[in-house]
Amino acid sequence: MSNEEKIIKAVEKISPCVVSVTTKRRLRYNLFNSFEMTGVGSGIIMNPDGYVLTNNHVVEGTNTVDVYLCDGKKYEGDVIGTDPSTDIAVIKINGNNFYSGEFGNSDELKPGQTAIAIGNSLGLTGGPTVTVGVVSAVRRNIPSQRGVLENMIQTDAAINPGNSGGPLIDSEGKIIAINNAIIPYAQGIGFAIPINIAKDVANELITYGHVTRPWLGILGMDMNPTLASYYNLATEEGALIVRINEESPAYYAGLKPGDIIVKIGDATVKGMEDVRRYIWRRKSGEIIEIQILRKHKQLTGTLQLTEMPVS
């Protein structure tokens, strides 16, 4: 099978579960007058029960949305939960036996592999829009209006207005990420939320209506040989702490920018994703052990996790 045929087959496999999401918001511009603003985005049906995965910024400020399936059928959707920290939201449409997508494993992504972005570009009729590229990089930390979006996937597959919330898929048609943003004036560099993160958040939103995750209160980056050599750091693997939030568990535990987390609990740390995965599996109030390197000196201590504050 040629590469072109594989892409066509992958698109045909995923298209039936790609939806268009339209929103209406009432905005007031003075005491007596207001106007209605409409928005459009994309989403993916994540299971046969009618749960739709999309971006928080697509549905922000509204409780109900209109969801259009690829065949044009319209459903009224209820926003059951949002998580601004990861820019993930879940919508529920009534019905059952919906066609849903197959998820891949975003932890196994490699730069250079095929990435296909699908969504409702610009809200145009006629079905989803398809753009093709590669995974350009993984584990990118991207500043946004709501803080830093961590562990993002970078792709050169064009993510156009309206594509937010739609799937990024591999050559087998498996969902590897949720399209999120395109950086203006960056020559088509797009970013997407890894599906492993999106699934974890979506499942909490479906179960509880909100995400109750603990946090460390750090901004970090992955260690690598170049970074270790340039700054004369003690290890080529681990999570380098760049910033610490005040009144966070890391702050009260005495961690400092420049510390390198090499182990947390019983998990060896190769990068920030290892820290995130371990923390999200814990509960607020738990006391965990953490091992760091500080100026070539190894230190071990404990800290108590607290619930992440609502932004």
Residue 41 has pLDDT above 80, yes or no: yes
87 is catalytic: yes
Q: Which of 178, 208, 238 is the last residue in one of the domains?
A: 208
Give the model confidence (pLDDT) of 256-308 as tens digits. 999 999 999 999 999 988 898 899 888 889 999 999 999 889 999 999 999 88
What is the SS3 string spanning 122-171?
HHCCCCCEEEEEEEEEEEEEEEECCEEEEEEEEECCCCCCCCCCCEEECC
Q: What is the CATH number of the domain that holds 73?
A: 2.40.10.10
Q: Same domain for 139 and 49? A: no
The pLDDT of residue 30 is: 67
pLDDT value at position 17?
93
Residue 98 inside a domain? The answer is: no
164 labelled catalytic: yes
For residue 101, is it within any domain? no
In sequence order, the β-bridge partners of residue 299 are: 292
Q: Spot the catalytic one: 42, 57, 106, 259.
A: 57
Average pLDDT for 45-74: 91
* Residue 277 neighbours by CB distance under 10 Å: 16
pLDDT given at position 270: 92
Catalytic residue among 20, 42, 106, 164: 164
pLDDT-derived band at 208, boundaries 50, 70, 90: confident
Question: How many angstroms separate the first and last alpha carbons of the chain?
Answer: 49
Q: Do the domain assignments include residue 155?
A: yes
Which residues on adjacent β-strands are paired with residue 149? 142
Q: Is 296 a catalytic residue?
A: no
Q: Is the pLDDT of residue 62 over 90?
A: no
Q: What share of the chain is helix, strand, coil (3-state, %, to 5)?
A: 20, 45, 40
* Residue where a domain terminates, one of 208, 223, 257: 208
Number of domains the chain contains: 3
The pLDDT score that the predictor gives to residue 112 is 96
Interval 181-200 mean pLDDT:
80
The letter for the amino acid at 6 is K
Final residue of a structural domain among 44, 66, 93: 93
- Rounded CA gap, 101 and 169, in Å? 10
Q: Which one from 42, 85, 87, 156 is the annotated catalytic residue? A: 87
| 258 and 287 fall within a common domain | yes
State the average pLDDT for the chain: 88
In 10 A of CB 286, how many CB atoms?
13
* pLDDT number for residue 124: 62
pLDDT at 63: 77
For residue 294, the enclosing domain spans: 214-307
54 and 122 housed in the same domain: no
44, amino acid identity: I
CA 198, CA 86: separation in Å to the nearest integer? Answer: 8
